Chain A
Amino acid sequence: MSKKSSRNLVLGLLFISPWLIGFVVFTIYPVIASFYYSFTEFSITTKPKFIGFGNFSRMLSDELFWKSLTNTLVYVVGLVPLGLIIALGISLLLNLRYLKGVPFFRAAIYLPSIVPAFAFSAVVTLFFHPYLGFVNTILSWFGINGPLWLSSEAWVKPTIIIAAQWGVGGAMLIFSAALKDIPVELYEAALIDGASKFTMFRKITLPLITPTIFYYLVTSTIGNMQIFDLPMLLTGGGPANASLSLGIYIYKHAFTYTNMGYASALAWILFSFILILTLLYFAFSKKWVFYLGNE
């Protein structure tokens, strides 16, 4: 490295140092520290005591760990595909050429996703209220006896999965941008060849937005594996721990039972699951993700 370029490097690092320092202090250090704490008994305010793999072997017989883990996987399996279908569906609608007032609809659909989860969960509670709620009132018009939604062990996770779709706006914007990027010539050529709308979607649209779908799958899985705010605010993990996510369970151990060591171990297990899922996505991505101009 020449003198000038190394000077540039130093200057560059200096310029981004506020971010670098924040990254090291608030991200790297806690990550490393939690790795160490996961092998200890630690309650935040006392000295950590090294116990080897004690926290990890404890998980094996911890019923609530397994319950919260399966709950979390149910959330992911529900939230990721449903979010994909809804976000993609809405952005396809907004991409229709003859639709008027697209900016208005886009804003209207994006708007709910900036509502804080706390305010939103108050709305959800009333919306899905078993006796007095909007949803069950509508259902009763059709003679349907609606479920207990958030108060039912069987329905609480589906309810949260449905309710979480209020935040679909972010993904919708990304898909809209991806759809706009597809060259119009491709559709024109297909039209001349007499392709149907559905064939165009299957052969042109879908392949060309696979990188975006891939991006969505990875980020949405990572995000939803850590689902916390909605179940925490709506049910606190109940009824009978049916909506308890791993994120809530970690939080409970960290701050309610003051088992920071066990909470750290749980967090690392959660991280390993996320890592494995992400690696699987990448391993299979070569089979179906298509990058334009990368032939």
Chain B
Amino acid sequence: MRRFKRCVVLAVFLGIFTVSSLFAAVEVTFWHGLARDPDKSSIDKIIADFEKENPNIKVKLVIVPAAETDSTKLLTAVAAGTGPDLVYIDRFTVPQRAAYDVLEPMDEYLKKNGVDIKKLMSDFYDFAVQECMFKGKYYALPFDTDVRVMLYNVAMLNSVGLKEPPKTIYDLIKVADKLTKEGKKGQYDTVGFIPWYAQGWPYTWIYAFEGNIFDEKTGKFVFATDPGVIEAYKWQKSWADRFGYEALNAFGSMQIGDLNPFTAGKLAMIVDGSWTISGIKMFAPKDFKYAISGIPTKSGKPVTWAGGWSLAIPKGAKHPVEAAKLAMYMATKGQIQYAVDTLHLPTYKKATNDLLKVDPSQKVFVDLLENAKCRPPLPVGALLWDKLNEARDNVLTGKKSVEKALMDVQIEVQREYDKIMSSK
């Protein structure tokens, strides 16, 4: 009798096992690097909603830390054929990863999910779509974004009789002159502005001077001889000569996390990212009054550039069709949730309304998105970024002339670019 009971139990278990394996869900592995809240819990929520909508797909979330241009784990995993099905990746590196066969084009997988790609892409801001493309194919779907603006200390500007920072770049230096005061021991007590500080990257000033980096038609880099780029670098050099490069850097190095000379009320103006606002609200003194304006430019018309992240399918993904479905969900509905939860700027146009409902103060950033630029979407993006910084350092420290510094790195970047394009 007992043996019979055992047999029945066994049979029931076997039955459940076979039936459940017939309806077994496809498991999609998703790597992301968002280990902190509220980002992490928002992703968890989006995934839970997705699974509810798609009971046949299970998502396995793996937190894999990765810096912007450094995705060591992804590269080695893809090379070994053990990569995930979907990965959260810095958007400006997408063309580079695409060129090196780290990512798969998504067009076909999206089509298999019945997606009209053209229509889908028109739902995102243009700069974000550009970054997801390589050689006419889509290698990622855009996720969140950010913009750069000028933040200024209201009281400090009022003290020199100004309501807001100048709109044009050569007026900026006059204002900065008045606001820069030396304290004891030759150190600065207050500083008006440091062009290369915080988000004052080479791209910020190249765009402010309407410089051109790359000529799409000829496939050649042109920045070393472009008048706008040269002027952007010369302008920074004149700033360094006037106030002292080392002295400004010493002043700027008073930074620990969200506490910096700006939030301490010592630096009047700063070019920084939209994401720093929450830190300022949290850490700056209660009576600290700041306001936002556009980045000063040569023409006086504000300019900004946006970065951000995206969702891509690595080479060798086991369930690319399901991964595309997940990417599609995250980039659209997911972005609405993500914007509400984390207050990150979305690339999905429809999500901006939801963001503004929870945080109306972000309107200034949202308004900038429509005309925002991005870093040139090229397969040598990471190298170009480092090299433009290297050229700037060489100029500001007086090691090289602007023309030579730019030409030296242009030759190097062009050689890498040609190498990649010829091997494809």
Q: Tell me if B249 is interfacial: C-beta within 8 Å of chain A.
A: yes
Find out whether the CB atom of B408 lies under 8 angstroms from the CB atom of A126.
no
Most central of B72, B75, B397, B408 by chain A CB within 10 Å: B75
* Assembly CA distance A148 to B383 (angstroms): 28
Partner among B101, B254, B397 whose Cβ is within 8 Å of the Cβ of A153: B397
Q: Tell me if B414 is interfacial: C-beta within 8 Å of chain A.
A: no
Q: Tell me if B210 is interfacial: C-beta within 8 Å of chain A.
A: no
Partner among B69, B253, B394, B416 whose Cβ is within 8 Å of the Cβ of A148: B253
B179 to chain A minimum Cβ distance, whole angstroms, is 19
Q: Is the interface of B mostly helix, strand, loop or mixed?
A: helix
Q: Tell me if A63 is interfacial: C-beta within 8 Å of chain B.
A: yes
Knowing A45-B100, A46-B100, say if A129 contacts B256 (CB, 8 Å). Answer: yes
Knowing A131-B253, A241-B393, A255-B70, say if A44 contacts B382 (CB, 8 Å). Answer: no
Find out whether the CB atom of B253 lies under 8 angstroms from the CB atom of A129.
yes
Q: Tell me if A212 is interfacial: C-beta within 8 Å of chain B.
A: no
List residues 193-241 of chain A with CB under 8 A from any CB of chain B. Answer: 238-241
Find out whether the CB atom of A43 lies under 8 angstroms from the CB atom of B100.
yes
Knowing A131-B254, A240-B394, say if A44 contacts B76 (CB, 8 Å). Answer: yes
Q: Tell me if B352 is interfacial: C-beta within 8 Å of chain A.
A: no
A257 contact set on B, CB distance < 8 A: 380, 382-383, 416
Q: Tell me if B49 is interfacial: C-beta within 8 Å of chain A.
A: no
* Assembly CA distance A240 to B69 (angstroms): 19
Find out whether the CB atom of B423 lies under 8 angstroms from the CB atom of A41.
yes
Partner among A126, A132, A145, A256 whose Cβ is within 8 Å of the Cβ of B254: A132
A148 contact set on B, CB distance < 8 A: 246, 249-250, 253
Q: Tell me if B119 is interfacial: C-beta within 8 Å of chain A.
A: no
Q: Tell me if B225 is interfacial: C-beta within 8 Å of chain A.
A: no
List residues 249-285 of chain A with CB under 8 A from any CB of chain B. Answer: 252, 255-259
B105 to chain A minimum Cβ distance, whole angstroms, is 15
Q: Tell me if A151 is interfacial: C-beta within 8 Å of chain B.
A: yes
* Assembly CA distance A64 to B399 (angstroms): 14
Q: Tell me if A130 is interfacial: C-beta within 8 Å of chain B.
A: yes
Q: How many residues in B have their beta carbons less than 8 Å from beta carbons of A?
A: 34
Q: Tell me if B78 is interfacial: C-beta within 8 Å of chain A.
A: yes
Residue on B nearest A259 in the bound complex, by CB: B416
Find out whether the CB atom of A256 lies under 8 angstroms from the CB atom of B249.
no
B95 to chain A minimum Cβ distance, whole angstroms, is 12
B379 to chain A minimum Cβ distance, whole angstroms, is 9
Q: Is the interface of A mostly helix, strand, loop or mixed?
A: loop
Q: Tell me if A70 is interfacial: C-beta within 8 Å of chain B.
A: no
* Assembly CA distance A248 to B246 (angstroms): 25
Find out whether the CB atom of A258 lies under 8 angstroms from the CB atom of B423.
no
Knowing A45-B100, A46-B101, say if A152 contacts B256 (CB, 8 Å). Answer: no
Partner among A45, A63, A240 whose Cβ is within 8 Å of the Cβ of B78: A45
Q: Tell me if A49 is interfacial: C-beta within 8 Å of chain B.
A: yes
Find out whether the CB atom of B75 lies under 8 angstroms from the CB atom of A255.
yes
List residues 239-297 of chain B with CB under 8 A from any CB of chain A. Answer: 246, 249-250, 253-254, 256
Find out whether the CB atom of A258 lies under 8 angstroms from the CB atom of B100.
yes
A122 to chain B minimum Cβ distance, whole angstroms, is 10
Find out whether the CB atom of B253 lies under 8 angstroms from the CB atom of A44.
no
Q: Tell me if B71 is interfacial: C-beta within 8 Å of chain A.
A: yes
List residues 74-115 of chain B with CB under 8 A from any CB of chain A. Answer: 75-76, 78-79, 96, 100-102
Find out whether the CB atom of B382 lies under 8 angstroms from the CB atom of A256.
yes
Find out whether the CB atom of B75 lies under 8 angstroms from the CB atom of A152.
no
Residue on A nearest B73 in the bound complex, by CB: A255
Find out whether the CB atom of A151 lies under 8 angstroms from the CB atom of B249.
yes
Knowing A152-B246, A257-B416, A258-B96, say if A44 contacts B75 (CB, 8 Å). Answer: yes
Find out whether the CB atom of A241 lies under 8 angstroms from the CB atom of B70.
no
Q: Tell me if B6 is interfacial: C-beta within 8 Å of chain A.
A: no
B253 contact set on A, CB distance < 8 A: 129-131, 148, 151
A151 contact set on B, CB distance < 8 A: 249-250, 253
* Assembly CA distance A49 to B186 (angstroms): 56
Most central of A46, A153, A241, A256 by chain B CB within 10 Å: A256
Find out whether the CB atom of B102 lies under 8 angstroms from the CB atom of A45.
yes
* Assembly CA distance A43 to B186 (angstroms): 49
B394 contact set on A, CB distance < 8 A: 240
* Assembly CA distance A153 to B399 (angstroms): 12
Q: Tell me if B315 is interfacial: C-beta within 8 Å of chain A.
A: yes
* Assembly CA distance A152 to B245 (angstroms): 11
Partner among B70, B256, B390, B393 whose Cβ is within 8 Å of the Cβ of A256: B70
Q: Tell me if B135 is interfacial: C-beta within 8 Å of chain A.
A: no
Partner among A41, A126, A241 whose Cβ is within 8 Å of the Cβ of B256: A126
* Assembly CA distance A49 to B423 (angstroms): 9
B243 to chain A minimum Cβ distance, whole angstroms, is 16
Q: Tell me if B36 is interfacial: C-beta within 8 Å of chain A.
A: no
* Assembly CA distance A252 to B256 (angstroms): 26
Q: Tell me if B5 is interfacial: C-beta within 8 Å of chain A.
A: no
Most central of A41, A148, A240, A252 by chain B CB within 10 Å: A240
A41 contact set on B, CB distance < 8 A: 419, 423
Find out whether the CB atom of B393 lies under 8 angstroms from the CB atom of A240.
yes
List residues 119-144 of chain A with CB under 8 A from any CB of chain B. Answer: 126, 129-132
* Assembly CA distance A132 to B181 (angstroms): 20
| A contact set with B: CB distance below 8 Å | 41, 43-46, 49, 63-64, 126, 129-132, 145, 148, 151-153, 238-241, 252, 255-259
What 9 pairs between A and B have smallest CB-CB spacing?
Answer: A240-B393, A43-B100, A151-B253, A131-B254, A255-B72, A44-B79, A45-B101, A256-B69, A257-B383
| B contact set with A: CB distance below 8 Å | 69-72, 75-76, 78-79, 96, 100-102, 185-186, 246, 249-250, 253-254, 256, 315, 380, 382-383, 386, 390, 393-394, 397, 399, 408, 416, 419, 423
Give 19 CB contacts A-B under 8 Å: A43-B100, A43-B101, A44-B75, A44-B79, A44-B100, A45-B75, A45-B78, A45-B79, A45-B100, A129-B254, A130-B253, A131-B253, A131-B254, A151-B250, A152-B246, A238-B393, A240-B397, A255-B72, A255-B75
